[in-house]
Homo-oligomer: A and B are copies of this chain.
Amino acid sequence: MDRDDPSSIQLTLDTVGDRWTLLILRAMFRGMFRFSEIQCDLGIAKNLLSDRLGRLVDNGVAEKVQYQERPVRFEYQLTDKGRSLSPVLIALMHWGDEWRTDGLHDKVLVHDACGSPIEHAVRCPACNTDIDSEHIQSTASTVVASGGNS
């Protein structure tokens, strides 16, 4: 990665670069959608959880969905934008597995269809090879804004 790296990381951190937010997202990926479930799982203060969930909804990462009429009850569900954060969470988890648990983690992520441990890779589709950070450069994109300044 060279010095011309775009600010996409910074933009992402603006939305989800908060420790509680990442842990709330982890809970939602594990199937917890209700305020009380997430609150109980994380042991987070209610006001903090309310604030973080509100921001996730405002940013389009989650949506508040009514699941019961009497009394009216809501839960929080990940949107497509939210679900597409799974590579971030998986990358964080894999690094922790490798470097923080001394290889003694008791759980492993697997493909539901076959039970094989999943891999998480950065790769070059043209060369059909995995690549590491020394072989990644940033370069000008060919994507041009329509109606941009001439």
- Point out residues on A near B: beta carbons under 8 Å: 1-15, 17-19, 22-23, 26, 29-32, 81, 83-101, 103-116, 118-127, 131-141, 143, 145
Contacts and interface: CB of A to CB of B under 8 A. Distances in A.
A26 B9 contact: yes
- The count of identical subunits is 2
- Grouping DSSP codes into helix (H, G, I), strand (E, B) and loop, the A interface class, with mixed when no group exceeds half, is mixed
Given A1-B29, A106-B140, A109-B136, 5 more contacts: A3-B32, A11-B96, A18-B19, A87-B120, A119-B123
A133 to B, nearest CB: 4
Nearest to A37: B3
A38 to B, nearest CB: 12
Contacts of A12: 92-93, 95-96, 100
A73 to B, nearest CB: 21
A120 to B, nearest CB: 5
A94 B22 contact: no
Contacts of A99: 15, 81, 84
